[in-house]
Amino acid sequence: MITAPVRTTPPIADGRAAPPALLVGSGLRKRFGRTEALRGIDFELQPGELVAVMGRSGSGKSTLLHCLAGIVPPDEGTVMFEGRSVGDLGEGERSRMRRTSFGFVFQFGQLVPELPAIENVALPLLLNGIARSRALEIAAPWFPRLGLAGLERRRPGEMSGGQAQRVAVARALVTRPAVVFADEPTGSLDSLAGEQVMELLTAAAQEQGASIVLVTHEARVAAYAHREVIVRDGRVSGPAAE
């Protein structure tokens, strides 16, 4: 089985070295009980890059995302973020890295149902110690951009699935993270709502210079990415890069 080569400093056309990768997973292995979810995966993400991770259910693609994001430690292999080994960080530091440098969007927005939309967007800022009034001030301009002007005080249960997911995208990006991890962000939406979420996610990430790791089984969603990585049986399969 072919695995993608690790390219820590890929050469570029004029001979200069490309900037170092932002996020590098090397030789990642992860086992859950008797199931080997990852069997030695190499993965690399450049600054500003959008990579789609595709594969069937149970292929290991979500486990890969969790390992790269420092949510789940790999059994073997290393994850380097901005040149630092995530495994060497203490839990406090790792948690801080996830709050300040990473953003997350999941299939079901996982918004806090009791909080109005604007407070859901502001939540990561509050967790980072920013004063409430300032956090709400930063969150407010997202709403016209989300196409949700006037809905700031709605609770998630009072919004459509597409609207709630757009709120989740804003929450992921409000801290200006370096990497957004999106796990099936359109999985529960119809085509049009899914398209709106992807437009918002990719445009906002590009504007902020954020990279995206996008786990999806939908080709139309993966087509927003610069390249795709196919995971099959815990390994990377086929052409991993252009």
Partner 1 sequence: MSVPHALLGLLNQRSSHGYDLKHAFDRYFSPEHPLAYAQVYSTLGRLEQRGRVRLDAIERAEGPDRRRYAITPEGADELDRWLIEPLEPEPRLQASLFTKVVLAILTGRPVEPLVDAERHAHLKRMRELTAVRRSGPLPVALLADYALFHLEADLRWLDLTAARVDELRRQVLAIPEGS
User: Quick one: three-class SS letters along 162-221?
Assistant: HHHHHHHHHHHHCCCCCEEEEECCCCCCCHHHHHHHHHHHHHHHHHHCCEEEEECCCHHH
Is the CB of 28 or the CB of 222 nearer to partner 1?
A: 222
Least separation, in Å, of the C-beta of 101 and partner 1?
27
Least separation, in Å, of the C-beta of 179 and partner 1?
21
Judged by phi (left if over 0) then psi (alpha if -120 to 50, else beta), residue 178 lies in alpha
Is the CB of 164 or the CB of 222 nearer to partner 1?
A: 222
Least separation, in Å, of the C-beta of 61 and partner 1?
13
Least separation, in Å, of the C-beta of 18 and partner 1?
21
Least separation, in Å, of the C-beta of 48 and partner 1?
16
Cα separation, 151 vs 167, in Å, equals 10
Which is nearest to 80 in space by CA: 36, 42, 32, 53? 42
Residues that bind partner 1 (CB under 8 A): 56, 199, 218-220, 222-226, 228, 230, 232, 237-239
Is the CB of 82 or the CB of 218 nearer to partner 1?
A: 218
Is the CB of 193 or the CB of 225 nearer to partner 1?
A: 225
C-alpha distances out from residue 33 to 26, 37, 78, 133, Å: 22, 10, 21, 46
Is the CB of 105 or the CB of 221 nearer to partner 1?
A: 221
